[in-house]
């Protein structure tokens, strides 16, 4: 069996690794448009802040050699031709496959005029991140402006601050990380960012990057502009699907897959940020672009390629913020029919409930309860009987075990 995998990110590499674990003979070709060994994007900030390589190259830089995987770096797939079971590379070369996995991830989504001007940086790949860090280092003591205060934008702001730049962020929403945090948790994060000296401007919409041959400013809807030495776009991500045009593989925002992560074309699967799967709790179609989903999907794809009938349970929404000096965790929905809340200084716990079940939670300052909440959420456990004990600072796995035992015995805690 010859399996060709497009993309050597966490999803692509995990498909290759899982396949190899069960099949010593399969020919596995892993294609990457970047020149590096497979890496983990969540570790990029740490890599640049500390110089550490271990978490960046999370399976070791020699992983493909060890696994006997044919890793071809610096090649870009430009077309997929399912009728002849071939893909086309940017040099015009074609590659045959028996099974194809699309694991091409996502790239920056910045629908802003001037986004392609030289001098506009992003942090979506190791190639892009290196260029940004080099520019940041060469402009230490100067100014940076970041458009977008989402999760990746905040990571960039902290990094550029560490590199010695004065950082301004513009965000059109009324809070930082608007798709991830409720307003109260966002307030705590905003205060921590301001403590670090980051100038965050909310409800400030950028209308584009200005300049003729290179970026010379950020234009704002108010009519004013911001000049800086380093310009960064951090406005979102979009699945890498451009090369699928004419292939017959159905895609909307991402590649549409079924519950076995098969695409609309036989023997072609998709996993990771490129795949439009469905939410574990709501069943709604969505691209959940986070690392754990990419890895779980990749394992499901590999098992199906191996002939095991494996169903994907659905994606989770989950994110954590590192490097802020304050742990923050966001899981699931941002509101529910009911809300449980506690706050002691910066230590905040907010749990959102619908129909007596946890549908999401936000934690700041202390995230030790995250595992227990998540477990209750995924099990769709009825937590009405536990009630406000969920917010107890000592609420822990012990409480979970007790709750499970009580449920079995049909006992209930006094709320």
Ligand X SMILES: Cc1cc2nc3c(=O)[nH]c(=O)nc-3n(C[C@H](O)[C@H](O)[C@H](O)COP(=O)(O)OP(=O)(O)OC[C@H]3O[C@@H](n4cnc5c(N)ncnc54)[C@H](O)[C@@H]3O)c2cc1C
Kindly tell me which of 106 and 304 has the beta carbon lying closer to ligand X.
106
Residue 219: CB minimum distance to ligand X, A: 25
Site for ligand X in 253-312 (CB under 6 A): 272-274, 289-292, 294
Interface residue with ligand X, options 152, 359, 399, 400 (CB under 6 A): 152
Kindly tell me which of 262 and 341 has the beta carbon lying closer to ligand X.
262
Residue 172: CB minimum distance to ligand X, A: 21
Give Cα 341 to chain centroid, integer Å: 27
Q: Applying CB under 6 A, which part among 33-41, 52-60, 250-258, 367-375 lies near ligand X?
A: 33-41
- State the Cα angle at 5 between 255 and 76, rounded to 5°: 85
Interface residue with ligand X, options 41, 153, 178, 336 (CB under 6 A): 41
Does 150 contact ligand X by CB under 6 A?
no
Paired tokens of 239: 């699945």
Q: How far apart are CA 89 and CA 91, in angstroms?
A: 5
Site for ligand X in 238-257 (CB under 6 A): 240, 243
Q: Quick check: 161 and 167 in contact, CB under 8 A?
A: yes
For 165-200, b/e burial (b = at least 16 CB within 10 A) is bbbbbbbbbebbbbebbbeebbbbbbebbeeeebeb
Q: How far is CA 82 from CA 101, 265, 413, in A?
A: 12, 7, 58
Residues 6 or more apart in contact with residue 45 via CB below 8 angstroms: 155, 156, 158, 159, 322, 323
Paired tokens of 352: 């959102």
By CB under 6 A, the count of residues binding ligand X is: 37
Q: Applying CB under 6 A, which part among 1-9, 302-310, 328-336, 365-373 lies near ligand X?
A: 1-9
Does 332 contact ligand X by CB under 6 A?
no
Q: Quick check: 80 and 249 in contact, CB under 8 A?
A: yes
Interface residue with ligand X, options 20, 124, 349, 350 (CB under 6 A): 124
Terminal Cα-to-Cα distance of the chain (whole angstroms): 58
Kindly tell me which of 106 and 204 has the beta carbon lying closer to ligand X.
106
Does 8 contact ligand X by CB under 6 A?
yes
Interface residue with ligand X, options 3, 4, 6, 189 (CB under 6 A): 6
Could you tell me how many residues make up the chain? 415
By CB under 6 A, name the binding residues for ligand X: 6-12, 31-34, 41-42, 44, 76-77, 103-106, 123-125, 152, 155, 240, 243, 272-274, 289-292, 294, 319-320
């Amino acid at each position: 069996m010859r399996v060709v995998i497009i993309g050597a990110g966490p999803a692509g590499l995990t498909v290759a690794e899982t396949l190899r674990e069960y099949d010593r003979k399969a020919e596995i070709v892993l294609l990457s448009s970047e020149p590096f060994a497979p890496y983990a994007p969540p570790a990029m900030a740490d890599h640049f802040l500390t110089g550490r390589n271990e978490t960046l190259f999370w399976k070791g830089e020699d992983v493909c050699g060890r696994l006997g995987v044919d890793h071809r770096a610096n090649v870009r797939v430009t077309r997929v031709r399912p009728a002849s079971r071939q893909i086309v590379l940017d040099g015009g070369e074609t590659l045959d496959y028996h099974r194809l996995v699309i694991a091409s991830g996502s790239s920056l989504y910045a629908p802003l005029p001037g986004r392609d001007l030289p001098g506009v940086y992003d942090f979506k790949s190791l190639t892009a991140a290196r260029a940004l860090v080099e520019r940041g280092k060469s402009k230490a003591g100067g100014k940076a402006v970041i458009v977008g205060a989402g999760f990746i934008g905040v990571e960039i702001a902290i990094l550029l601050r560490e590199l010695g730049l004065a950082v301004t962020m513009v965000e059109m929403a009324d809070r930082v990380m608007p798709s991830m945090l409720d307003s109260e948790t966002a307030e705590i994060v905003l205060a921590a960012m301001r403590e670090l000296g980051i100038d965050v401007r909310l409800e400030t919409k950028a209308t584009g990057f200005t300049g003729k041959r290179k970026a010379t400013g950020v234009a704002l809807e108010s009519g004013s502009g911001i000049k800086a030495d380093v310009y960064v776009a951090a406005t979102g991500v979009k699945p890498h699907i451009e090369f699928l045009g004419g292939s017959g593989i159905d895609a909307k925002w991402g590649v549409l897959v079924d519950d076995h992560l098969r695409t609309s074309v036989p023997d072609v699967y998709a996993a990771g940020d490129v795949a439009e799967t469905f939410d574990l709790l709501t069943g709604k179609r969505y691209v959940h672009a986070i690392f754990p989903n990419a890895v779980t999907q990749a394992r499901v794809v590999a098992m199906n390629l191996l002939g095991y009938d494996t169903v994907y349970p659905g994606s989770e929404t989950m994110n954590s913020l590192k490097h802020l000096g304050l742990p923050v965790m966001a899981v699931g929905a941002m509101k529910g029919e009911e809300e449980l809340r506690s706050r002691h200084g910066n230590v905040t716990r907010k749990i959102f409930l619908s129909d007596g079940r946890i549908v999401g939670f936000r934690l700041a300052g202390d995230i030790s309860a995250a595992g227990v909440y998540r477990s209750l959420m995924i099990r769709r456990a009825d937590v009405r009987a536990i009630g406000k004990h969920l917010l107890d600072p000592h609420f822990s796995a012990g409480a979970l075990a007790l709750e499970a035992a009580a449920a079995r015995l049909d006992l209930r805690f006094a709320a």
